Structure 1
Amino acid sequence: MIEEIEPHEAFPYKPPTIEILEKYPHIFNLKEPLPPRFFKVFFDKTLAFILLIISAPILLLLKLTFIIEGWAIPENKGPMFFYYNGVSAGRIIPKYKIRLIKTKYIEPEGAKRHDWLAYSAEWTPDSRTFVGQFVKKFYLDELPQFWSVLKGDMSIVGPRPLSVMHYDRDRAQGNVTRFLLRGGLLGLGHINKGTSEMGNPAYEYEYVDQYLKRSSFGLLCLDLWIIWKGILVIFKGGGH
């Protein structure tokens, strides 16, 4: 039985184990990001377009609640959207999010550089606005990333794109999955959010291995299963 826990840090990813190195040596021999797969890209862009349209009323409602909360509690006012620099397939991209925290917790110089550290207080629940608490609980802060999927910066399924500093740490630990694949909203490892398995790199290497072995349609079937598991995580409402 997997133990449910709240991570003590934002991205508790671990280095590859000896078992991973022995099981997937072919993955560590890859020198370039993997090419896109037709059905995966087509599905990603189609779903992202549909979900952006569906989520538009939700985003408008959230914007209204942001305005109302900012009017009622001045220290909570501020922009709804922001981004920090993340890495996807070894390339720096803007990772769009909905602001969860009061602006006084945002470090202004770091925010200008779009550093993750400027916004890291979102992992401290006391720093969150009332709307931010609700948004985080149901992962609504991830909605803007459908735009990144539509642009081709991300995928629906893949290893979560890390901030530059966390990506550098991940590579220094010997991991290569986030260099090889576009970052995703969901991944084999990410659907274990809130459990002791969060951060276990074995899941990410298993996905890369399946990416290499499966046909384009077979990979889409795997993505659909991961999406279903991700939906179950979202409806649990843990907000991890």
Structure 2
Amino acid sequence: MTDLKKTNPTTGSSWQTEDIRAMNLSMRWRTPLVVLRSIVLLILDTLMLCASWTIADRIGIVTSGSYTVHPIAPILAITIGTLAASGFYGTDDKLHRFAKLFKALTLAQVVILIAAFFNQPGVWWVSRLVFIIAWLLNFTFIGLARFLFDILNIQLRKHYPIFQQAIVLMGYPADIEKVRNLLDRSQQFRVDSTIDLSVWDIQTQLEPIVTRIRSRKVSEVFICSQQPIDNQIIFFWNLKAAGVHLRMVPTDLQLPQRSAETKMIEEVPTVRFKSLPIFGISFWLKRLFDTIASSLLLIVLSPLLLAIAIVIKKTSRGSIFYKQDRVGLKGHRFKVWKFRTMVENASELQKELEAQNEVKGGVLFKIKADPRITKVGRFLRKYSLDELPQLINVLQGQMSLVGPRPLAVRDYELSIQNSEQFARDRFLRYEVLPGVTGLWQVKGRASTDSEEIFYWDMIYILHWSLALDLKILLETIKVVLLREGSY
């Protein structure tokens, strides 16, 4: 990686150095990758739409008409067109975005319904059952296909940096480091070079800075520090003329960690943040989803649960289940259900092992080679099978399928002993139901840093949606099957 502060800047004007009708080298270099991804997504969506409507036809009942099968071409045109208009073939990351995808596909179905009504309904109209099944399958198939495509994208970026977007970071060292840490988690961008504003003077060296940025094959410049620019229009114009986008990352501003949208007041752009979503009717929608899903899972998994119970009873002394006091909603204590994975006197032995705790800060207790774990218990933990009885807690309303990790009483009491170490905003985690799985389990499961654990808890609370819950559940399956970060 090249640090631009170590390069001798060249002099000369960068004003109008390129025809606005030209496409710069970096854009030519990136265009094939962007086009290829859009083509792959287009083919993927087309296949999923064909599959969903074909299955819907087989399941549903076609109403009277001269044709028994509706033409797929206009349906594909309307749906693909709606997805394109909603930005699903753009350059943004996370192209499955379940909530937005659901809205776009619902809009497409409405348009199809209107078109069918006005275009000879007796010729290509289908029954309401077929229409509803196709609508649900469209969302399921396309959402799942795009979710798997995103996972493949992330893996490709990890192993092949060419698939990452090359960018330049511009700001002061501390701010650049904050943004670099953020980008390391996303895997979407690759830092090609940096401009250290403690060395470069953006007021007097603006043109050399622009010249250096234009010489790199980058797609964007991230402004990491709130540094005023006298000639900001010229700076912005020259970057755009070179096909380089400009992005502001407000590291110094204490902005809410919420989804935001840009709104204009006269000619001034402002940022509006949405309110927290996990209140009122949203809570009860989440609770309804938890109740239905946990009931179905308990029924489907009952043979597996019975087999695990028998193995535990046959291989070690003690009860089948382990019940431990945990701190849940509003600080209320409840007993969490788990399959027993340790020896019978594990709680007493923990006091002797406190010195070996691997979690930084000591708020949580975790040891990789914990001697208290049985052989069967180690297998159950590896695949998170010991957590399955917590579906009972979900059914009882003490837990949710997805949420922050429920702390043991010992961990909770340690966390509040020093209010300076345990930031006040972390108490928000007790304003929601704790979960069987959560963002920490799928993002930082191998981490032994309590700061990172609480970080992912807060991200989940501030960005909650049913779509996010579904995404976390799907990613949990992947993490468990790949045994990522299991203890």
TM-score when normalising by structure 1? 0.70
Equivalent residue runs for 1:136-147 within 5 Å: 136-147=381-392
Q: CA, structure 1 residues 34+176, in 2 after alignment: closer, same or farther (shift >3 Å)? A: farther
Letter in 1 for 2:435: G
Paired residue type of 2:466:
L
**Structure 2 residue 474 is matched with structure 1 residue 222:** no
Distance 1:87 1:68 in 2: 32
Partner of 1:183: 434
- 1:79-228 equivalence runs, <5 A: 79-89=319-329, 90-107=331-348, 124-171=369-416, 172=419, 173-174=422-423, 175-191=426-442, 192-195=444-447, 199-200=451-452, 201-211=454-464, 219-228=465-474
In terms of Rg, which structure is larger? 2
Task: State the AA in 1 paired with 2:339.
Answer: I
Contact 2:429 2:458 in 1 (8 A): no
Return 5+ residue gaps in structure 1 as ranges: 4-18, 27-32, 70-75, 111-119, 212-218
Deviations 1:92-132 (A, max 9, x none): 11111111112243439x9xxxxxxxxx7986433222211
**Which piece of structure 1 moves more, 97-106 or 183-192?**
97-106
- Percent identity between matched residues is 27
The answer to whether the 8 Å contact 1:82/1:96 transfers is yes
Decide whether the 8 Å contact of 2:405 with 2:434 is kept in 1: yes
Higher relative contact order (CA 8 A, sep 6+): 1
Aligned residues: 196
Q: Is the 8 A contact 1:79 1:99 kept in 2?
A: yes
Q: Which amino acid aligns with 2:333?
A: I
Q: Could you say what secondary structure the match of 1:185 adopts?
A: strand
TM-score normalised over the length of structure 2? 0.36
Match of 2:118 in 1: none
What is the root-mean-square deviation in Å for CA atoms of aligned residues? 3.1
| Structure 2 unmatched ranges of 5 or more | 1-157, 159-183, 186-250, 259-277, 352-364
State the match for 2:317 in structure 1.
77
**One-letter amino acid matched to 2:295:** F
Deviations for 1:154-189, whole angstroms, at most 9, x for unmatched residues?
Answer: 111110111122123334412223221110112222
1:57 counterpart (303, 325, 350) = 303
Question: In 2, Cα distance between the equivalents of 1:122 and 1:196?
Answer: 9
More displaced 10-residue stretch of structure 1: 141-150 or 127-136: 127-136
Q: Please state whether the residue corresponding to 1:22 is helix, strand or coil.
A: coil
Does the Cα contact within 8 Å between 1:158 and 1:183 map onto a contact in 2?
Answer: yes
